[in-house]
Amino acid sequence: MAGKIADEIREQVRQRANLLCEYCHTNERWQYVRFTVDHVVPGEESSPENLALACFHCNRRKSDKTVAVDPETGEVVQIFNPRRQIWKKHFAWSADGLHIVPVTSTGRATAALLELNRERILFIRQADVIVKRHPPIDDLK
């Protein structure tokens, strides 16, 4: 059952994510506030296997959802699960590094639900591209 998350587990989740929101891949290092630790499956255990680092916006938009509509097909599909799925299999970066390009139905549903290309994040990414700290280096491998 979900409960208070111990500080050492929070830090373990943060380090495992390399301080990236595990949904939009924004880097916490350059943000004003610390990211939250999200229960991937709401109501389940507060163990590292069910926790992900999420920026405020992604955490708020995800809320308690585990499914969303694929805007291309209209089907209800599971959203991206950072503990069970690999980000690069569902998302890619546009050539300019500003937009997340969903490449699967899970990616499309997640991108739409979480607004992964919302205006504010595009401004942040644009500034980060200029100073060469975006996209995250591991996303380009």
pLDDT, tens digit (0-9, with 9 covering 90-100), for 14-37: 999 999 999 999 999 988 899 999
The answer, yes or no, to whether residue 1 has pLDDT greater than 90, is no
pLDDT digits (tens, 9 = 90+) for 42-97: 999 999 999 999 999 999 999 999 999 999 999 999 999 999 999 999 999 999 99
Share of the chain above pLDDT 90, in %: 91
SS3 per residue for the chain: CCCCCCHHHHHHHHHHCCCECCCCCCEHHHCCCCCEEEECCCCCCCCHHHEEEECHHHHHHHCCCCEEECCCCCCEEECCCCCCCCHHHHEEECCCCCCEEECCHHHHHHHHHHCCCCHHHHHHHHHHHHCCCCCCHHHHC
pTM metric for this prediction:
0.94
